[in-house]
Amino acid sequence: MKKSLIVMGALLIMSSIFAVSCGGNSSSSAASADGPTIGVTIYRYDDNFMSFYRRNIESRINGKANLIINDSQNNQAQQNDQVDVMIQKDAKALAINLVDPQAAQTIIDKAKAKNIPVIFFNKQPSAQAMASYDKTWYVGTTPEESGDMQGKIVVDTWKANPTWDRNGDGIIQYVLLKGEPGHPDAEARTSHVTLYITNNGLQVERLEPEQTAMWDTAKAKDIVDAWMQKHGDKIEYIFCNNDAMALGALQSVQALGYNKEGDTTKYIPIVGVDAIPEMINEIKKGTVAGSVLNDPVGQSQALVDITLNAAAGKDPLDGTTWTLDEVKAVRVPYVPITKNNVNVAEEAYK
Ligand code: GAL
Ligand code: CA
């Protein structure tokens, strides 16, 4: 009797252990992945380029961590609240696409108080903010490089197409659409495109002060509509800090009969940055001059590698081939894209 009670008791204990361990396994594989909780914010889900970046982050992190990912809806206060919630939910690392590049310190202070690593991406914080916490890193590009490469596309295409100098004065009459003012990419692209052109022996004339279209297609179209009304085909080139705005510029000139596929007589060259699929299509059709590949695959891979390492308390570069510069940044290279090498961009956005 006593013996059988002991056996029964032992069986009960064993079966309950079994149930607990089974339940534990099934719940972790169903709802969330094994692995640490990672908090990611995107400054705005409806930013064209960032939507590709986000998809790449999600697919790379899939199964390796429990991902909390939020749309900050272009509102820094909202992003700060999202970070608070991620910290409450025991995030082991944060990957932050700031709304306002100036807000890095606020986020760093929150994370540092709990000893949580923070990896910024796409909008580079100041060197001072980066230096204030040993567990913060940045994944991005060298913004000046995109302006220089855009300048190179302008120089090469201009030299190859003498009819683009419509007034025959040897000078490129241009207008420029700027991204978000104060964004390191927007500032560097704006200054470097013309710097590269003039350093390479061509002259430029700015027909209008730069205007910001905040990376946005519809805003870009409105601005170019007004510029076209004022200057018409006196505009000999349209430089755009990104492709979403270049596509808006294209809509504007096409509505006036320019840049129709196959017609090179009524043509105002347009150049962008990102090489997103919609722009690749236009490059192939010859309706725009080119773009600069802002590689979402390379950048998201670096971001996920570093974030997972940091979350596990490892060296951020552990098991990777990335390198950090003096401000703890990984910089993924840009690539100039024209009709001749459009396949490079297609590969990156597959
Ligand atoms: C840039 C990109 C833009 C926009 C911006 C958002 O790198 O070229 O299209 O996505 O980031 O911060
Ligand atoms: Ca000219």
pLDDT score of 349: 83
DSSP string, 159-182: HH-GGG-TT-SSEEEEEEEE-STT
Q: How far is the CA of 34 from the centre of ligand 1 (A)?
A: 32
Spell out the domains of the chain, with CATH numbers in brackets: 37-140+296-332 (3.40.50.2300), 144-294 (3.40.50.2300)
Q: How far is the CA of 305 from the centre of ligand 1 (A)?
A: 21
d(CA 137, CA 318): 14
d(CA 146, CA 2): 81
d(CA 178, CA 162): 27
CA angle, 327 as apex, 323 and 332 as ends, to 5°?
45
CA distances from 123 to 63, 72, 100, 212 (A): 27, 14, 8, 17
pLDDT score of 264: 87
CA distances from 288 to 4, 165, 243, 277, 337 (A): 85, 16, 10, 13, 11
Q: What is the number of the ligand 1 atom nearest to the C-alpha of 186? A: 1
Cβ atoms of residues 264 and 200 within 8 Å = no
Cβ atoms of residues 324 and 317 within 8 Å = yes
Q: What is the number of the ligand 1 atom nearest to the C-alpha of 97? A: 12
Average pLDDT of adjacent 10-residue blocks, the chain of 350 residues? 43 39 30 81 97 96 96 98 98 98 97 98 97 98 98 98 97 98 97 98 98 98 98 97 98 98 94 98 98 97 98 98 97 98 91
